[in-house]
């Protein structure tokens, strides 16, 4: 039996997606209660992109992310605890409390802290891929960005160089149809983003980003190409966010019929129904999985609320230059 038909693997995909959904829902309430500083950009509805891509990657591979990085982080193996501690600003957080929601990451787990500048992670990913190639490291970079990043100069500059130098990077565009409140067809004439790759001389395709197995499979094939030195690949994953752009945005610009259409293709319900039809789990089993994840989340919140806060002395650590001894 191949790994991709293995019940344990399939159930793990479902659990990872439920973990992301419940983490995001729990965190939303914590922010609304004012329990955490700053703002948040959440990914409810986009769970299959993060899990589909990251489940295909190996330990030697890295991801870059955006301001909407909670799902990417959980899918790449960061723990709820290190993420919640980070969101609370605690020193036990994955970035010692200095990154917060928009810069979540853990380089030891293969995730560069999120880059909140739209398109900013794309040249970074190309540079990392160049470094891997020069060091003959077998790793590949999966670079997540949104549809809004495709109109940035940084996208065009970086994909051009990545193609020219055959760099091992998968450009993963999560096309959720909106950049903040602006619909994609108001900012680009050709809304099929994967077609951009051809103009730079490399391959790309558009995939159902709400189908975790389709995303996993497409990523696996892109990885094989990258690892064998064939250069970059562009995956456009069609998906939809169920929540506003950030905490203060109720998302009223998303038409009701469009929301209903996408909600009927929710990535978690879709995959759970498939596993139920295949007899791998039943509705009660899905509920139990969800309850277990919620219990884990609540225990982690309890601990995060008691986690140590930085002191004034921490202001001068982890900066680019170490302080000169007096």
Ligand X SMILES: Cc1ncc(C[n+]2csc(CCOP(=O)(O)OP(=O)(O)O)c2C)c(N)n1
In the bound complex, what is the minimum distance in angstroms from residue 177's beta carbon to Mg ion?
7
Q: Which option in Mg ion, ligand X, none does residue 62 bind, with CB closer than 5 to 8 A by kind?
A: none
Question: Considering only CA atoms, which of 108, 45, 97 is closest in space to residue 73?
Answer: 108
DSSP secondary structure of 95-155: TTTSS-GGG--BGGGTBPPP--STTTHHHHHHHHHHHHHHTT----EEEEEEGGGGGSHHH
Closest CB to Mg ion among residues 41, 103? 41
**Cα radius of gyration rounded to whole Å, the chain:** 19
Closest CB to ligand X among residues 107, 117? 117
Per-residue exposure over 175-208, b if at least 16 CB sit within 10 Å of its own CB, e if not = bbbbbeeeebeeeeeeeebbebbeebebbbebbb
Q: Which option in Mg ion, ligand X, none does residue 67 bind, with CB closer than 5 to 8 A by kind?
A: ligand X
CA quadruple 11, 15, 16, 17: dihedral, nearest 10: 100
- Evaluate whether 24 touches 42 at the Cβ level (below 8 Å): yes
Chain residues that interact with Mg ion, rule: CB under 5 A: 146-147, 176, 179
Q: Which option in ligand X, Mg ion, none does residue 295 bind, with CB closer than 5 to 8 A by kind?
A: none
In the bound complex, what is the minimum distance in angstroms from residue 68's beta carbon to ligand X?
4
Q: Which option in Mg ion, ligand X, none does residue 116 bind, with CB closer than 5 to 8 A by kind?
A: ligand X
In the bound complex, what is the minimum distance in angstroms from residue 23's beta carbon to Mg ion?
20
Chain residues that interact with ligand X, rule: CB under 6 A: 67-68, 116-118, 146-149, 176, 178-180, 245
In the bound complex, what is the minimum distance in angstroms from residue 243's beta carbon to ligand X?
11
Q: Which option in Mg ion, ligand X, none does residue 149 bind, with CB closer than 5 to 8 A by kind?
A: ligand X
Q: Which option in ligand X, Mg ion, none does residue 118 bind, with CB closer than 5 to 8 A by kind?
A: ligand X
β-pair type (141-146, 169-175): parallel
Residue nearest to ligand X (CB): 146
In the bound complex, what is the minimum distance in angstroms from residue 175's beta carbon to ligand X?
8
Closest CB to Mg ion among residues 16, 245? 245
In the bound complex, what is the minimum distance in angstroms from residue 120's beta carbon to Mg ion?
15
Closest CB to Mg ion among residues 41, 290? 41
Task: Report phi then psi at 323, rounded to 5.
Answer: -65, 135
Q: Which residues, 6+ apart, have CB-to-CB distance to 81 below 8 Å?
A: 92, 300, 303, 304
Residue with tokens 């949104």: 146
Closest CB to Mg ion among residues 147, 266? 147
Closest CB to ligand X among residues 126, 132? 126
């Amino acid at each position: 039996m191949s790994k991709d038909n293995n019940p344990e693997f399939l159930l793990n995909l479902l659990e990872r997606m439920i973990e992301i959904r419940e983490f995001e829902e729990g965190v939303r309430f914590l922010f609304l209660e004012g329990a955490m500083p700053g703002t948040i950009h959440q990914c409810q509805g986009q769970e299959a992109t993060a899990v589909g891509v990251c489940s295909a990657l190996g330990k030697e591979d890295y991801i870059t992310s955006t301001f909407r990085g909670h799902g990417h982080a959980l899918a790449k193996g960061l723990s709820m605890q290190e993420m919640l501690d980070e969101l609370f600003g605690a020193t036990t957080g994955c970035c010692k409390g200095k990154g917060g929601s928009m810069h979540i990451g853990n380089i030891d787990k293969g995730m560069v802290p999120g880059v909140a500048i739209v398109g900013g992670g794309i040249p970074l990913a190309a540079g990392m891929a160049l470094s891997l190639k020069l060091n003959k490291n077998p790793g590949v970079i999966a670079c997540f960005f949104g549809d809004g990043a495709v109109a940035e100069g940084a996208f065009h500059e970086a994909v051009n160089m990545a193609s020219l130098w055959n760099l091992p990077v998968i450009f993963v565009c999560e096309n959720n149809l909106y950049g903040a409140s602006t619909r994609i067809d108001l900012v680009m004439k050709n809304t099929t983003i994967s077609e951009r790759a051809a103009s730079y001389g490399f391959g790309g395709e558009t995939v159902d980003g709400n189908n975790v197995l389709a995303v996993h499979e497409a990523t696996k094939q892109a990885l094989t190409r990258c690892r064998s030195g064939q250069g970059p690949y562009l995956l456009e994953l069609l998906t939809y966010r169920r929540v506003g752009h950030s905490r203060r945005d109720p998302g009223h610009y998303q038409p009701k019929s469009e929301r209903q259409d996408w909600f009927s293709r929710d990535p978690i319900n879709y995959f759970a129904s498939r596993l139920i039809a295949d007899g791998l789990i039943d509705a009660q089993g899905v509920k139990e999985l969800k309850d277990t994840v919620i219990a884990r989340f609540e225990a982690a919140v309890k601990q995060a609320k008691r986690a140590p806060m930085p002191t004034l002395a921490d202001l001068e650590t982890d900066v680019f230059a170490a302080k000169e001894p007096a």
